[in-house]
Amino acid sequence: MSGSAVWHPFTQHGLGDPVPLVTHAQGAALYTADGRRVIDAISSWWVTTHGHCHPRIVEAIRAQAGALDQLIFAGWTHAPAERVAAGLTAMMPEELTRVFFSDSGSTSVEVALKMALGYWAHTGQPRGRILVLEHSYHGDTIGAMSVGERGVFNAPYEPLLFDVGTIPFPVGDGANTLEALEAACREAPAAFIVEPLVLGAGGMLMYPPALLSAMAEICRRHEVLLITDEVMTGWGRTGTLLACEQAGVVPDILCIAKGLTGGSMPLAVTMAREEIFMAHWSTDRAKMFFHSSSYTANPIACAAAAANIAIWQEEPVLDRLADLGTRQQALLDRLAKLPGVGATRRCGTIAALDLEVPDGGYMSSLAPRLLTLFREADVLLRPLGNTIYVMPPYCIDDADLTRIGDVIEMAVRAVLP
Ligand code: PLP
């Protein structure tokens, strides 16, 4: 072995790409050991909402690290977790009364699935089938992969994945989706899990709020639990705190992570309606919710989340989102004119465009070439195959956003004939 021992995620080491060493970050910028300033155009995998190293979050982490670093969370509690739970129940839909902590988006999904099955089991009507939307991504643990799109991400692990009912992604007015969901709901599945408004890793695919409302209504009518995975869309990404808000939808179970700590520490929560909590509430110890990890509700991560919640409560975050959305649209309008650019779309602060190539999809041969051009131009962008998307921290300024546009234009012109 030579060089670093690190095995990176979603990285083909055999391609021999350089792996930049980052020493520090501020706002929308990363700084490398060799003196480069790199614009973080994808918020370091969609997590950094207010910008890197936001002073209020940094201070909260510092203070908490010196006070209480870690605590077993089974039967014990601490002030940062209580602050987060109180903050979330105050700012999220009031029907979501319970807050269960975990460590990542994937685990928040695992928890949601277990809660749904626990609900049915403990109310004496066991159900097991999960419905999913085509092209979804919910994480890389076994359960999360099972409810995600089957394909290159998980092909070798197929024997470990459980069977689900797949509802087709909406085409045109979405009647295909609604009819399939209606039919599948008649079979009494346990739950339908969905990414609201934007399917992220599936290619930044977007669908309108009215369709989400209609899907939620079908679930409600058939008493199928609705799980919304707002791991990516939550915390303002789609222009509102939650994407569900735009559809007037309140799920039975909600997954949030990424921006929960402003993108500073690993933490997630799964929020649930009271009925789901109460299905587990009993003097029977066998009905307790059997799920945890060593670091569930880590106090330092919770302190960061509490600081993020305070920023949302005290600063004009929604105004920043609206402003960024407008600037993202201008960027898209500019890029849409480039030869070879096909569909463009935007939802809140997420802007995406498809390049017209014969080999579309995640494994498009274009992706590694684009990645290299972006890296060499000091912009962190990670195309999903032939789809380029921009999802910057909310604090990004005009100069950096213009530079992102310039670099995308340069790269598109370089890779397309
Ligand atoms: N759900 C969605 C919608 C996501 O976009 C992601 C990650 O990108 C996950 C779940 C998994 O989250 P994590 O990477 O924190 O496990």
Same fold, 13-53+317-415 and 55-314: no
State pLDDT tens for residues 186-198: 999 999 999 999 9
Q: Return the H-helix or E-strand segment holding 13.
A: none
Assigned superfamily of 13-53+317-415: Aspartate Aminotransferase, domain 1 (3.90.1150.10)
Residue 354, ligand 1, Cβ within 6 A: no
Q: Best mutation site among 108, 232, 244 for ligand 1, i.e. most ligand atoms within 8 A of its Cβ? A: 232
Nearest CA to ligand 1 atom 7: 139
Q: Please state the residue numbers annotated as binding site.
A: 45, 105-106, 137, 229, 258, 292-294, 382
Ligand 1 centroid to 137 CA: how many Å? Answer: 7
Q: Is the pLDDT of residue 78 over 80?
A: yes
Residue 138, ligand 1, Cβ within 6 A: yes
Domain ranges of the chain: 13-53+317-415, 55-314
Ranking 118-122, 131-135, 364-368 by mean pLDDT, the lowest is 364-368
Residue 264, ligand 1, Cβ within 6 A: no
Cα separation of 1 and 345, whole Å?
Answer: 44
State pLDDT tens for residues 342-385: 999 999 999 999 999 988 899 999 999 999 999 999 999 999 99
Q: Is the pLDDT of residue 417 over 90?
A: no
Q: Is the pLDDT of residue 96 over 70?
A: yes
ipTM of the complex: 0.99
Q: What is the CATH number of domain 55-314?
A: 3.40.640.10
Nearest CA to ligand 1 atom 15: 105
Residue 132, ligand 1, Cβ within 6 A: no
Please say whether the beta carbons of 263 and 48 come within 8 A: yes
Residue type at 303? A
DSSP annotation string for 101-165: EESSHHHHHHHHHHHHHHHHHHTT-----EEEETT----SSHHHHHTS--STTTGGGGGGPPP-E
Q: Best mutation site among 45, 111, 136, 137 for ligand 1, i.e. most ligand atoms within 8 A of its Cβ? A: 137
Where does the pLDDT of residue 2 fall: very low under 50, low under 70, confident under 90, or very high at 90 and above? Answer: low
What pLDDT score was predicted for residue 20? 97
Q: Please state the residue numbers annotated as binding site for substrate.
A: 45, 137, 258, 292, 382
* Two structure tokens written together for 398: 């005009």
Residue 257, ligand 1, Cβ within 6 A: yes
Q: What is the model's pTM?
A: 0.98
Ranking 2-16, 25-39, 326-340 by mean pLDDT, the lowest is 2-16
Higher pLDDT among residues 250 and 1, named by residue: 250
Cα separation of 417 and 412, whole Å?
Answer: 9
Cα separation of 105 and 335, whole Å?
Answer: 31
Neighbours of 68 (CB within 10 A): 15
